[in-house]
Amino acid sequence: MISKEIRQKYLEFFKARGHEIIPPAPLVLAEDPTTLFTSSGMQPLVPYLLGEAHPSGQRRLVDSQPSLRLGDIEEVGDNRHTTFFEMLGNWSLGDYFKAEQLPWFLEFLTKELGLAKEKLWVSVFEGDKTTGVPRDEESLAAWQKLGIPKERIFFYGVKKNWWSRSGEPALMPVGEIGGPDSEIFYEFADVPHDPKFGETCHPNCDCGRFLEIGNSVFIQYQKQADGSLKELSQKNVDFGGGLERLVAAASDNPDIFQTDLFLPIIKRLENLSGRNYLQDPETTRAMRTIADHLRAAVMIARDGVLSSNKAQGYVLRRLLRRLLLFTKKLGLEASGDYFLGLISILAESYGDIFPDLEEKKAEIATSFREEADRFDEVLKSGIKEINKVPMIDAKTAFYLFESFGLPFEITEEIAREKGQTIKKEDFQKEVEKHQKLSRQGAESLFKGGLADQSYEVTRLHTATHLLHEALRRVLGDHVRQEGSNITAERLRFDFSHSAKLSVEELKNIEDLVNEQIAKNLIVTETVQDLSAALASGARAFFREKYPERVKIYSIGPSFSREICGGPHVASTKELGRFRIIKEEAVAQGVRRIKAVLENGGQKIF
Ligand code: SER
């Protein structure tokens, strides 16, 4: 069975059980100051898991969410890890619970995908003394009733059977939601257990015999300031299953790169290089990495990101440079045709869900080719840099990686030529040191946002709507939002406009925004059908795919109307004074404004 069929069957299965099919959120999050990419299906749904009514008016939802997780990037190359994946998800927003969810998913696996029940193993939460969350007897009973024998039910603690965006309870920031979960694993009977991973095999063993294919999270807790967990006002189900893995299970082939999602890419790499995918471990690893990184890079570029040194652009660059490295290893040249050929395969296989790829593929191929040129330059200057140091150690390797984007593999190779060795573990330690520092940064950001957006971000968000409208009124109707990013300190707004803004234009824009602020305009929220909202002239971000029912925020009776998830302040009085601090170009035909709010206004509610 192929991926398209499985995706469709899943959506229809849950639709038949009262779920509304919702469009996925974009992969690249332009408006979220805390996260670069959507990394799970529940991420866009947090407000509704917390109790807010979903704009569709429904409490049962289902979708397929393109997601990106970079934590496993180093694992890519084995037969099951990817950075980009599609997460099939279904949710109960305080509606059904374990007694419905577990039988439904099992039925989907056995009846719709035809998986043999004997090959399915499950895991259940064993309970946790620290937080007092009890052992999940209800799920255990449900699985037994469904005919899963005791021998195939395993209990694990918070490290394996607890889910939140930040992991186990101790790592959850205040306000974050999560809960115990129950996972299903598919057993590849032909894969023998590898004792390297432990004496006995079990569902969470990493030897490759078991593959996790679905996770039902029972989101019912919220982290409190005193470290405890409080029951939410509603008990939710958050199910997620990786489409790629479900396809592998349905084909009873543990190598997800041999499913229809990747095979055409692998075949093309075989043709170009004259090598066989399975001829030796190095070739297999190179082809898998190229296939994964290419797909992830294309999905990021599809949302309008270009490689750069910051944020999403940096991730794209990193994926592309790794891809280029493995391309070299296969003896291939990363020409424009190389990229176009590969991207065309993706445009075709994703034609039904991402039809825009066909139109964008040539432009994406050109931008990848440009990155390949820059990378060649980097290699040259990085190599020059290496030649300056007498001894290459892990610190130097990390410096070259951070500052020049020089992959470890290259530095290692040059060191080897000079008769020196650098240990990958030492390099890895340097990377971890750095990651720890940036994680600390991310955590402090996290506290301000997401589940409960900080007041500063909310104020700047409302100011962004005023700016968007003011730009159109001053510069003209051609102005379209190209991106937006808000931190507690400033807003940043990218928009289409071909010329540098004059001092006078900037002043007119600033004045127009400040006039609205001075009028103490009330901000109101309504819910409407998307078509009606667009027909009434509400502003929309053209890159975003909206659901059928949307929220519209209006500022004043007629100044600004924009489709948006919120939140916003209650009145413009809360904004204080708006000041533009920078205007610059970010790309051909795209300008960027950074602005701040001064003299903090007053919170009304
Ligand atoms: N949120 C859970 C996960 O990402 C299930 O959807 O695994």
**Are 399 and 429 found together in one domain?**
yes
Ligand 1 center from residue 468 Cα (angstroms): 35
**What was the pLDDT predicted at 538?**
87
Which residue owns the Cα nearest ligand 1 atom 4? 40
Residue of 176, 238, 239 best suited for mutating to test ligand 1, as the one with most atoms within 8 Å of CB: 238
Please give the distance, rounded to the nearest whole angstrom, from the Cα atom of residue 448 to the centre of ligand 1.
Answer: 23
Which tokens go with 375? 């990378």
The residue from 449, 474, 490 where one domain ends is: 449
Same domain, 443 and 479: no
Same domain, 201 and 177: yes
Q: Residue 96 Cα, ligand 1 centroid: separation in angstroms?
A: 17
Residue 269 lies in a domain: no
Tell me which residue range forms the domain holding 222.
3-257
238 lines ligand 1 (CB under 6 A): yes
Same domain, 438 and 583: no
Point out the residues of the chain with pLDDT beneath 50: 440-452, 602-605
Are 45 and 147 contained in the same domain? yes
pLDDT of the residue at 1: 59
Asked if residue 267 belongs to a domain, the reply is no
Same domain, 380 and 400: no
Nearest Cα to Cα of residue 7 among 28, 21, 20: 21
The pLDDT score that the predictor gives to residue 473 is 94
Distance of alpha carbon 76 from the chain centroid: 16
Comparing C-alpha atoms, which of 123, 465, 65, 127 is closest to residue 299?
65
Mutation pick for ligand 1 pocket among 40, 48, 49, 166 (CB with most ligand atoms within 8 Å): 40
Q: Looking at 211, 232, 257, which one is the last position of a domain?
A: 257
Do 439 and 474 reside in the same domain of the chain? no
- So what's the pLDDT on residue 33? 60
Ligand 1 pocket mutation, candidates 65, 68, 217, 220, criterion most atoms within 8 A of CB? 217
Please tell me the residue having the least CA distance from ligand 1 atom 7. Answer: 240
Assigned domain for 266 exists: no
214 ligand 1 Cβ < 6 A: no
Structure tokens at 531: 């078509």
Question: Does 40 contact ligand 1 (Cβ within 6 A)?
Answer: yes
Say which CATH number the domain at 57 has: 3.30.930.10
DSSP string, 371-395: HHHHHHHHHHHHHHHHHH-SS--HH
Same domain, residue pair 442 and 474: no
Expressed in angstroms and rounded, the spacing between residue 458 Cα and the centre of ligand 1 is: 27
- Provide the whole-model pTM: 0.71
At a CB cut-off of 8 Å and minimum separation 6, what does 357 contact?
A: 298, 302, 343, 346, 347, 350, 351
Q: Determine if ligand 1 sits within 6 Å of the CB of residue 89.
A: yes
Q: Is residue 605 part of a domain?
A: no
User: In terms of domains, do 323 and 291 share one?
Assistant: yes
Residue from 82, 86, 163 whose mutation best tests the ligand 1 pocket (most atoms within 8 A of CB): 163
Q: Is 186 inside any structural domain?
A: yes
Q: Rounded to the nearest whole angstrom, what is the distance from the C-alpha of residue 62 to the centroid of ligand 1?
A: 13
| Domain identity same for 295 and 344 | yes
Per-residue pLDDT tens for 269-284? Answer: 999 999 999 999 999 9
How high is the pLDDT of residue 437? Answer: 62
Residue to mutate, 46, 72, 91, 215, ligand 1, most ligand atoms under 8 Å from C-beta? 215
* Both structure tokens of 598: 């001064």
Position 279 in a domain: yes
Q: For the sheet with 560-563, list strands across it.
A: 523-529, 549-555, 560-563
Which of 232, 257, 282 lies at the terminal end of a domain, its last residue? 257
Looking at the fold, whether 187 and 232 belong to one and the same domain comes out as yes
The alpha carbon of 335 and the centre of ligand 1 are apart by a number of angstroms equal to 38
pLDDT of residue 339: 98
Dist. CA 574–CA 601, nearest whole Å: 4
286, two tokens: 């190179």
532 part of a folded domain: yes
At 172, give phi and psi (nearest 5°). -75, 130
Distance 165 CA to ligand 1 centre (A): 8
Which atom of ligand 1 is closest in space to residue 42's alpha carbon? 1
Quote the number of domains for the chain. Answer: 4
Cβ–ligand 1 distance for 217 under 6 Å, the answer yes
The Å distance, Cα 216 to ligand 1 centre, comes to 7
Give nearest CA residue, ligand 1 atom 3.
240
Q: Do residue 435 and residue 332 come from a single domain? A: no
264 occurs within a structural domain:
no
The pLDDT value recorded for residue 34 is 66
User: What CA–CA distances, in Å, run from 50 to 64, 93, 176, 235, 295?
Assistant: 21, 8, 10, 9, 33
CATH number at residue 481: 3.30.980.10
